[in-house]
Structure 1
Amino acid sequence: MTERSKMGSENEVSLLRLYLLRAGYLVVVVGLGLNVWPEFISRSGSWELMEGVVQCMLIAFWALCVVGLRYPLQMLPVLLWEIVWKLVWLIGVALPIWASGQMDDSTMMMVIECSLVVIFPFVIPWRFVFVNYVKKRGDRWA
């Protein structure tokens, strides 16, 4: 087997896996579309600084997930980012609050929202991620 055909078989992602990946993007597109866009469009007045930053980041994430519906493999870093930031928040912020017995309702709501990230590890083609982001030689620096 030539090196080229070997790489092709390692990079191959099944059609089922692509549909699962697209379903993951679709969950984000529909979920954020129903929650973020109405608030963005109908807001009256200005947002506090960080609330505005968060809303704009969510809209950007939504737009990249729309692109992911068409190009699911190329947009994988977007879903990987989603997994990483939510895990970091759950472990670094929510867990210490929970361990200290100071969990309030708003933090618990955020924990529930962040916990929805559990679907993504099941739709991501991890072999493809390993081959293309771990094993593959990086781009040159100079």
Structure 2
Amino acid sequence: MDSTVSPLKKTKPRNWRLHLMRGLFFLNFISLAYDNWSTILFPKEQMGVLSGVAISFWAGFSLLNFLGIRFPLKMIPILLLQLLYKSAWIIGTYLPAHASGTTSAGIQEFFWICIAGIVLNLVIIPWKYTYREFCKDLFKFGGS
């Protein structure tokens, strides 16, 4: 064995964390799949361009979460996307509405959904593994 490589370098997260990740992927899949796929497959009215893009995105996102149930470590970028978009929504939508006093019931409700999602992602994502596999060599070019 090469003495320069730590034996811990290639360790996977513990099984309990993988099960929590699978649970989060399942929760995401269930919460997105029914509404979005039923809207695509059985439309009640013609969707506008942006609403059609949004519904299609969430339908695709639900299927990627479904894959995450089987392959949680390979689908970590999906959890990162969820963490980032919810954080961006709070910064770009909620905080300006809150500052101007224009928060609606819908904005307030989605704010709490985002907070819950952010907290779940921060707790469940295996950060050491994520750094090692997705971030550490991000700017190393050439070679493998």
Same fold (TM over 0.5): yes
Q: Deviation string for 1:44-95 (max 9, x for gaps)?
A: 2310111100000001100111111111001100110110011011012211
The structure in which a higher percent of residues are helix is: 1
Q: What does residue 119 of structure 1 align with? A: 120
What residue identity is the alignment partner of 2:50? M
Q: What does residue 10 of structure 2 align with? A: 8
Query: What percentage of residue pairs aligned between the two structures are identical?
Result: 24
Q: What does residue 131 of structure 1 align with? A: 132
Cα distance in 1 for residues equivalent to 2:20 and 2:88? 25
What stretches of structure 1 of length at least 5 have no aligned partner?
Answer: none
Cα distance in 1 for residues equivalent to 2:28 and 2:108? 20
1:1-142 to 2 correspondences below 5 Å: 2=3, 3=5, 5-9=7-11, 12-117=12-117, 118-136=119-137, 138=139, 140=141
TM-score, with normalisation over the residues of structure 1?
0.86
Moved more, 27-36 or 129-138: 129-138
Residue aligned with 2:45, SS = coil
What residue identity is the alignment partner of 1:92? G
Q: Deviation string for 1:3-55 (max 9, x for gaps)?
A: 1634223xx21111110110110110111123322333331231011110000
Counterparts in 2 of 1:5 and 1:88: CA distance versus 1, 3 Å: same
Task: Say how many residue pairs are matched.
Answer: 140
Q: Deviation string for 1:98-127 (max 9, x for gaps)?
A: 111111223223323323312121111111
**Runs (4+) off by over 3 Å:** 136-139
Cα distance in 1 for residues equivalent to 2:115 and 2:9? 35
Counterparts in 2 of 1:22 and 1:43: CA distance versus 1, 3 Å: same
TM-score, with normalisation over the residues of structure 2?
0.85
What residue identity is the alignment partner of 1:124? I
C-alpha RMSD of the superposition = 2.1
Moved more, 122-131 or 29-38: 29-38
Cα distance in 1 for residues equivalent to 2:113 and 2:125? 19
Residue aligned with 2:72, SS = coil
What stretches of structure 2 of length at least 5 have no aligned partner?
Answer: none
Give 1:96 shift: 1.2
Residue aligned with 1:8, SS = coil
Moved more, 27-36 or 13-22: 27-36
